Every structure is written in structure tokens, then in C-alpha cells.
């Protein structure tokens, strides 16, 4: 009895460790950034507003900002600024007025924001990014989506490995 080649093809694809690459139009890489992350209580919006006000007064350019609700009524704020503004941002966070309000402060001084286009709400894009980088033990500091873009933040030291890993699961046209 002849084997149906379509069935053989389906079984081969099911056995593949990774599915075929997804086609995307481009991968954009930001200049080197400073990454900051901190936690405040949900009801303490005044602290976040004051920090953003001071950053604006100091003309700090934020290329990424994200808010993630957490447990126990907490909110994690993550942001990236241009590398040359990092010292100004650190000085703002060190102000006495924020000492009690901010918890779990983290600063990484050399990160890159990578943006994949077009994302267009395709859940498999984010899933592929998380899966391949987790497999390579590469930390994603933050990730976010917009209408047609999926962005992630990784350390500059991991950049070459991240790009090589992404090229295994995506094709850029």
C-alpha cells in the first residue's frame, strides 16, 4: 500500500523541535539604553507622577515605559533612558522623598530595546521569542506590545546571542 505523502509530511512537521520560521519585515535595535525597574503600591501614583515630572524637568528621553500590576496591590514600573542620561536618572531615584515609596529598585546600565515588525497581535511571535531565549538562558528584562510591534529589552552583553537566536525562528524580508 502506497504511503500518502501528505501524512508523512504532517508527521515530520509534528516531530520537528521547532516549527518553521515566521516571516517579519524588520528587526530594529535601539542605541544603548539604561534600564530602571521599581515597585510602588498601587495607591501611590503620586510617587510615579513625581518621578516622571522630575525626569521631564531634566529633559530625560524615555524610549520605553511599562507598568505591570503585581500581587499585594503593587505595581512594577520599568523604563529605559538614553545611556548618557543614566546618572541623572539615578540621582532622581536617590532623592530622600522616594526612599520609603520605592522598593525592588534595579538598574542595568547597558541594555538594548529590540522591536520586531509586524507583530499585529500574532501570539506565536511573542511565544517564539520567549521560548527560544528561555532555552538559551537569556534574560528578557521586559517586553511590551503595541499595535504592530513586539519589543523586548535585553542586556547589551546578550545582544549577539539574542539576534542569533531570533534568526533561528524568524525570517526578515
Domain with CATH 3.30.70.260 in the chain: 20-30+112-172, 33-109
Least confident range from 69-73, 77-81, 103-107, 133-137: namely 69-73
Query: Could you tell me which residue, 125 or 119, shows the higher pLDDT?
Result: 125
Least confident range from 9-18, 77-86, 146-155, 156-165: namely 9-18
Whole-prediction pTM value?
0.82
CATH 1.10.357.10 fits 20-30+112-172, yes or no: no
CA pair distance 53, 162, nearest whole angstrom: 34
Q: How far apart are the first and last CA of the chain?
A: 42
pLDDT band at 7 (very low <50, low <70, confident <90, very high): low
Q: Does a cis peptide bond (omega within 30 degrees of 0) precede residue 150?
A: no
- pLDDT over 60 (residue 13): no
Question: CATH number of 33-109: 3.40.600.10, 3.30.70.260, 3.90.1300.10, 3.40.50.1820?
Answer: 3.30.70.260
- pLDDT over 90 (residue 49): yes
> What residues pair up with 66 in beta bridges, in sequence order?
78
User: What radius of gyration do the chain's Cα atoms show?
Assistant: 20
Amino acid at each position: 500500500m502506497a504511503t500518502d505523502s501528505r501524512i508523512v509530511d504532517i508527521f515530520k512537521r509534528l516531530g520537528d523541535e521547532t516549527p518553521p520560521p515566521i516571516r517579519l519585515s524588520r528587526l530594529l535595535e535601539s542605541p544603548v539604553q539604561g534600564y530602571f525597574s521599581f515597585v510602588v503600591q498601587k495607591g501611590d501614583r503620586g510617587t510615579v507622577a513625581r518621578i516622571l515630572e522630575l525626569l521631564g524637568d531634566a529633559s530625560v528621553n524615555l524610549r520605553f515605559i511599562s507598568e505591570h500590576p503585581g500581587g499585594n496591590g503593587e505595581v512594577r514600573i520599568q523604563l529605559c533612558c538614553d545611556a548618557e542620561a543614566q546618572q541623572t536618572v539615578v540621582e532622581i531615584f536617590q532623592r530622600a522623598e522616594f526612599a520609603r515609596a520605592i522598593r525592588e529598585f534595579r538598574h542595568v546600565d547597558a541594555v538594548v530595546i529590540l522591536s520586531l515588525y509586524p507583530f499585529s497581535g500574532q501570539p506565536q511571535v511573542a511565544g517564539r521569542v520567549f521560548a527560544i531565549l528561555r532555552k538559551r538562558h537569556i534574560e528578557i528584562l521586559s517586553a511590551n506590545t503595541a499595535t504592530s510591534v513586539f519589543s523586548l529589552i535585553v542586556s547589551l552583553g546578550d545582544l549577539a546571542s539574542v539576534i542569533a537566536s531570533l534568526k533561528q525562528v524568524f525570517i526578515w524580508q
